[in-house]
């Protein structure tokens, strides 16, 4: 009896120090619970329901009918195709081109810091501002068309944002331009962690120029390449602002992405339950990419350890 009382008294004495970290975390956890976790659970529930009349009435449970509707929704599959096109074109460019820029700005040259700043400026510019600026550049009488007409490359100009064949690629250029500096900084951190002695040893062994980057830089930058590939892939699946500002998903849904279609269903058509079903499918896709990233990082770390 005395021993049990001693244990309780000792626990009570140590309880304040054990609870202190949780008390500091409590405000943030409450805020996350109210703004993230609870809405996520509610959205998961709504994806299996439907509002019969309007949003003021409680939803009715319909099971998997929203997902069955997705399977036969032509516009949804068109947006999936557009998103996959983003993944297939934008992601490889965002994996390779920033690495070349990082190697370029990693040189010890006079004024190289200004080049780093210049490449990173698009990252800090708001996507709203960038989208409006690029929309002016893409206009019928914008800078790009006037430049092409002056060179007589395209006398009639190019319908950058008004043609189904050009719209998504025009938006994609903005996404790539906006992300180059961000991924360049990630690569730059990796490059500066590589010992200079390895390049000196490579030069002695006859490896110089591009061959030196192929033999030394790329193998040591593999974790950063995987990281950028997954991050850029997740970002490509969530493209929204540039589409909303520049094309509104048109023309003929040619630039409409999954996220924009979700927004359209939720806030224009007021199909909240159907939008939640689209969001759940998108969440599973992003979750798969995140798990893939963790597996690749674990496999890379194990191979480096061995």
Return the CA Rg of the chain.
Answer: 26
The reported pLDDT for the residue numbered 67 is 93
For the chain, give every domain's residue range.
Answer: 2-46, 73-305
- What pTM was computed for the model? 0.84
Cβ contacts of 22 within 8 Å, gap of 6 or more:
none
Cβ contacts of 163 within 8 Å, gap of 6 or more:
251
Q: Which pair of structure tokens corresponds to residue 188? A: 């730059």
Nearest CA among 26, 25, 69 for reference residue 47? 69
- Low-confidence stretches of the chain (pLDDT < 70) are 1-17, 206-207, 209, 296-297, 299-306
Q: What's 204-270 look like in SS3?
A: HCCCCCHHHHHHHHHHHCHHHHHHHHHHHHHHHHCCCHHHHHHCCCCCCCCCCCHHHHHHHHHHHCC
The reported pLDDT for the residue numbered 178 is 93
The reported pLDDT for the residue numbered 106 is 84
- The distance of Cα 35 from the centroid of its chain, to the nearest Å, equals 21
CB 94, CB 233: distance < 8 Å: no
Cβ contacts of 57 within 8 Å, gap of 6 or more:
51
The reported pLDDT for the residue numbered 179 is 92
Q: Give the C-alpha separation, 80 to 256, whole Å.
A: 9
Q: Which residues of 66-81 are buried (b: 16+ CB within 10 A; e: fewer)?
A: beeebeebeebebbbe
The reported pLDDT for the residue numbered 279 is 92
Q: Which pair of structure tokens corresponds to residue 201? A: 């040893």
- The distance of Cα 184 from the centroid of its chain, to the nearest Å, equals 15
The reported pLDDT for the residue numbered 265 is 93
Which CATH number applies to 73-305: 3.20.20.100, 3.40.720.10, 3.20.20.70, 1.10.3720.10?
A: 1.10.3720.10
Q: Give the C-alpha separation, 294 to 298, whole Å.
A: 6
């Amino acid at each position: 009896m005395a021993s049990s009382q001693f244990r309780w008294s000792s626990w009570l004495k140590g309880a304040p120090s054990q609870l202190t970290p949780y008390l500091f975390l409590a405000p943030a956890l409450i805020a996350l619970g109210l703004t993230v976790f609870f809405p996520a659970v509610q959205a998961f529930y709504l994806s299996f329901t439907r509002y019969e009349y309007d949003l003021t009435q409680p939803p009715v449970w319909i099971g998997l009918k929203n997902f069955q509707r997705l399977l036969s929704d032509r516009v949804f599959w068109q947006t999936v195709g557009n998103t996959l096109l983003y993944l297939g074109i934008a992601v490889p460019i965002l994996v390779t081109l920033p690495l070349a820029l990082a190697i370029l700005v990693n040189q010890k040259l006079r004024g190289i810091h200004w080049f780093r700043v210049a490449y990173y400026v698009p990252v800090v510019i708001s996507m709203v501002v960038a989208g409006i600026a690029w929309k002016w550049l893409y206009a019928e009488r914008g800078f790009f068309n006037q430049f092409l007409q002056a060179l007589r490359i395209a006398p009639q100009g190019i319908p950058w944002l008004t043609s189904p064949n050009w719209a998504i690629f025009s938006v994609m250029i903005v996404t790539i331009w906006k992300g180059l500096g961000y991924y360049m900084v990630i690569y730059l951190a990796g490059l500066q962690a590589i010992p200079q002695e390895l390049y000196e040893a490579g030069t002695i062994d006859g490896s110089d120029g591009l061959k030196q980057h192929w033999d030394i830089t790329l193998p040591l930058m593999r974790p950063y390449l995987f990281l950028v590939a997954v991050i850029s892939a997740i970002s490509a699946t969530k493209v929204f602002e540039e589409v909303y500002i520049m094309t509104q998903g048109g023309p003929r849904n040619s630039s409409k992405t999954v996220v924009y279609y979700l927004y359209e269903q939720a806030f224009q058509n007021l199909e909240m339950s159907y939008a939640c079903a689209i969001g759940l499918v998108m969440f599973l896709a992003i979750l798969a990419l995140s798990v893939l990233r963790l597996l690749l990082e674990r496999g890379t770390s194990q191979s480096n350890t061995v």
